Structure 1
Amino acid sequence: RTEPADSNVKPMSQLPGDLILLDEGLDEAAARVLYELTQLNGVYLKQFHAFGDPNRVKDLKDRAWLRSVRTQPEQRVVTVGYFGLVSLHDFNPKPASFAGSADWIDLQDIGELAFDHNEILSGAIDALQSQLESQHISFELLPKKFTISQLQSLYEVVLEKKFDKRNFRKNVKKMSHVVPLDEKQQGVMHKPAQLFSFNRDELES
């Protein structure tokens, strides 16, 4: 949520974002903006789409907010979207700069966002779903050693569908980048499950 300088302008819930500097690249800018607004650093970021509809800022409340924080509020802005992969237990966002608050919000609890940010969010979800297997980004969301159940849970959450446990295990055996370890879980109340890891050489090939 952003806090405008003008107290008469209502704060708006939106995705973190800001203008790029003249002397920086896109990836560098994405990392800088994320840190400046949320204090999150060292996050895996991946570019997924550019949003350049000339009418993307047309709502009156959006224009009012822009006038309160931008020196040139009518200037056209093209947004380059990035999604980040983090463990919520390892990263705690803290608001900074013009961000009034910075919080993790459950996807199902997100309402109307400013500008076209709901569209950007939907695009990020689509990109994450399509790249989960093709780009092998799942290793960014799991511990170095994980169980088949953890991997299946990740796929089910990201792809928003359930998998048959037996069929999923069969498919995992066909994944050259998923390596079974001669180790099992420790310190669990239930029967310890076998651990697996990712072969990064296979991921990069």
Structure 2
Amino acid sequence: MKFDLTFQPRFNCAICSTRCDGRSKSAFIFTDDVALSVQAEDWILQHFQEVLGLSVYKAAGEIHGLPDLEIIRGQKIIARVEVKAQSRAFMSIERLLPKSNLHPYEAVALNLSDLKRYITLYQREDIPLFLVWRVQRPCLGEGYWGHSVTRLQEIYQHYQGDRRYRRRSTLSDYVDGQHCGVTVNYHFSLRELLPLSAVEHCLQQL
């Protein structure tokens, strides 16, 4: 069933009874963010195996900078999938990125360097590459949305810097002395993405 993401009173933060915290978090705990993404990744892996009837494996992403999952038919990789999990809403997005055409409820973020890397990877390999977000917010509940990196590239080329935001680093961005937290994000709208069932359909056509 398609979720209606058209702006309506339930998405109006000014009158929302379960309004997200509008203050910038003082600590973006990198390890917590990773744990949430791994949970979503594991769920998508099992779900795609069942729905697509294909082999789905975790890629050696940490070593090679690859997306999280590889979908394989026979001996051939037919698609790559990166999985993200987000619950925090960018409550100040309308003020800080006034030309983004985004409301807090609908905005999802991706590390800008990851976006550029995946665009380059697709251009080099010519293997379809998809990104999927698990989103959990009071006004949305929980759902999965995604799209191909080629569509995300089109959005990036259209909005350019109007959807780019750099936040300040905090101590919690560091793990064993190395900066791991994401500070430069690029933002997309759930309205520009496909529900998970439509992503599955795209993968079935490969």
TM range, smaller chain? under 0.3
TM-score, length of structure 2 as denominator length = 0.24
TM-score by length of 1: 0.25
Of the two structures, which has the highest relative contact order with CA contacts closer than 8 Å and spacing of 6 or more? 2
